[in-house]
């Protein structure tokens, strides 16, 4: 019954956020989008790797530690495929950065693919235990990871791309609003900490968000009964798909790079 009022609040917030960054000339997808019929592209990152991987990013030097995580792998891929279908139905182009749960793709592979596809945003999809675990994590200037580099020396990699961070934060705010409506609970734009986690560098940005030149939106869905390796229920999955899809479409509709949702025409 209270849905209409909530929706109005969210839409008003979206318009305010969208108006704050109405240019974005240096963002991905800027070139070739003026008057072009080519729809905007987004990259969907189903969380976790098919095998344990611990390599150093050749570009930044950060440790790229990733691993399979039980039922989360298939959940994230199912959700990514469902979101893809909805976003494509609205006329946008979607690239999945993982096609099967067995795929072995590093964070560098994923962000390079997103950039090569000229994605205007990358969206990471994860789940986690705990009903209070839902959150959206944006890129932030000054966000970092720190640990032992390939040369054995303490190394810190810090984010300094303000244009990308501003668009990531705008998109994350839109996403958090849409997800809050779909999940029937407040989904905050949050801050992560990786400090004290064995096998991972410390710091406060997901590695994929840190090394991406594309605006990135990192999502966790908190489950009361499962989450992460334990899996989420069909009802939870449905709410997550709804929220992500609505958030992506609202973010694209207010994107400085993209035409209004639906105007690109219907795409098979």
**Separation CA 139–CA 192 (nearest Å):** 11
Judged by beta carbon, residue 92 or residue 221, the one nearer Zn ion is: 221
Could you tell me the CA-to-CA distances from 197 to 135, 149, 193 in Å, in that order?
19, 17, 9
Size of the site for Zn ion (CB under 5 A): 2
Judged by beta carbon, residue 39 or residue 228, the one nearer Zn ion is: 228
CB of 94 to Zn ion, least distance (A): 20
**Per 3-state DSSP, what percentage of the chain is helix, strand, and coil (rounded to 5)?**
35, 20, 45
**Separation CA 110–CA 80 (nearest Å):** 14
CB of 224 to Zn ion, least distance (A): 17
CB of 47 to Zn ion, least distance (A): 4
Judged by beta carbon, residue 48 or residue 84, the one nearer Zn ion is: 48
247 in contact with Zn ion (CB under 5 A): no
Residue 230 is given by DSSP the state G
Applying the rule CB under 5 A, the residues between 98 and 157 that interact with Zn ion are 126
Judged by beta carbon, residue 14 or residue 205, the one nearer Zn ion is: 205
**Separation CA 155–CA 144 (nearest Å):** 10
Judged by beta carbon, residue 126 or residue 145, the one nearer Zn ion is: 126
Applying the rule CB under 5 A, the residues between 22 and 51 that interact with Zn ion are 47
Answer for the pair 136, 187: CB distance below 8 angstroms, yes or no: yes
Matching residue, tokens 């410390």: 202
Helix (H, G, I), strand (E, B) or coil at 186: coil
CB of 65 to Zn ion, least distance (A): 12
Answer for the pair 187, 134: CB distance below 8 angstroms, yes or no: yes
Judged by beta carbon, residue 39 or residue 206, the one nearer Zn ion is: 206
CA neighbours closer than 13 Å in the CB half-sphere of residue 179: 30
CB of 128 to Zn ion, least distance (A): 7
Please report, as ranges, the residues that interact with Zn ion according to CB under 5 A. 47, 126
């Amino acid at each position: 019954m209270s849905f209409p009022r909530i929706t109005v609040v969210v839409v008003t917030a979206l318009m305010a956020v969208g108006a704050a960054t109405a240019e974005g000339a240096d963002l991905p997808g800027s070139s070739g989008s003026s008057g072009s019929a080519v729809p905007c592209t987004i990259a969907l990152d189903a969380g976790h790797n098919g095998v344990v991987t611990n390599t150093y990013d050749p570009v930044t030097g950060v440790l790229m530690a990733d691993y399979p995580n039980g039922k989360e792998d298939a959940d994230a891929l199912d959700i990514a495929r469902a979101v893809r279908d909805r976003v494509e139905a609205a006329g946008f182009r979607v690239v999945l950065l993982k096609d099967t749960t067995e795929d072995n793709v590093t964070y560098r592979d994923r962000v390079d693919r997103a950039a090569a596809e000229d994605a205007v945003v990358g969206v990471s999809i994860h789940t986690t235990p705990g009903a209070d675990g839902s959150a959206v994590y944006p890129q932030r200037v000054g966000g970092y990871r720190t640990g032992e580099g390939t040369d054995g020396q303490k190394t810190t990699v810090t984010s300094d791309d303000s244009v990308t961070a501003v668009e990531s934060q705008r998109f994350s705010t839109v996403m958090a609003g849409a997800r809050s409506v779909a999940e029937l609970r407040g989904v905050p734009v949050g801050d992560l900490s990786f400090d004290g986690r064995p096998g991972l560098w410390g710091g406060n940005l997901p590695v994929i968000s840190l090394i991406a030149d594309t605006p990135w939106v990192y999502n966790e869905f908190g489950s009361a009964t499962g989450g992460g390796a334990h899996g989420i229920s069909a009802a939870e999955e449905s709410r997550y798909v709804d929220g992500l899809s609505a958030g992506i479409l609202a973010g694209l509709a207010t994107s400085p790079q993209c035409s209004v949702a639906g105007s690109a025409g219907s795409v098979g």
